Amino acid sequence: MTSLKESQHDFIQNEIWTLTFSGAFQRANIYQSKDQDEQKKGVFKKSIRAFIENIILDDYKTTVVCDEHHIANIKKVSDYSCNFLEIFQEGQINFGIAQKMLNLYLKYMWSLGHIPEPPHFPVDRIIQIILNKEIKAIKIKGLKLETWTQFTDEEHYVKVIKSARELIIKNESFANHSLAELELALFQRR
């Protein structure tokens, strides 16, 4: 029989993953059809969850991960999804969806105090719009908005991260913020 603590932990993890999958897949249209076999989707979600929790998450438990390593982990999540190519339109989830999934999960784990601060934040349309507004307010060239669900590689994602770092440097109200802290502050302002 599982203890109360284990049951509470399992409940919170299930809720986090429900929110993570919802956030990563909400507008992505990733499946081959809307009627895609729910059992196959469930197997994929259970498998990718185990992959992230048991393989990827270890990198984030004790230390801050550098940009290159974090981007490599995002690519690993995308590559892992190739094991389920029969359910995806493109044979796998792309970089944009993988970054949203991993970054969102890490944000939840950090917010709960389970891991140190993640290196980046989930990049989506809302954060790009908010970031653009803040950047333009301090007379920095704005970002071209890109659809995060269509990112096939890290090119635009890295531009968003670099713009966020530039905002931290040039806007006194965000001085000494990390990227993760900046994203929380920007969301509070919206």
pTM above 0.75, yes or no: yes
Residue found under tokens 């792309």: 94
* DSSP notation for 96-158: HHHHHHHHHHHHHHHHTTSSSPPSS----HHHHHHHHHHHHHTTPPPPPP--GGG--SSHHHH
> pLDDT tens, 101-156?
999 999 999 999 999 999 999 999 999 999 999 988 888 787 889 999 999 999 99
Helix, strand, or coil (residue 176)? coil
- Comparing CA positions, the residue from 119, 124, 105, 113 lying closest to residue 49 is 105
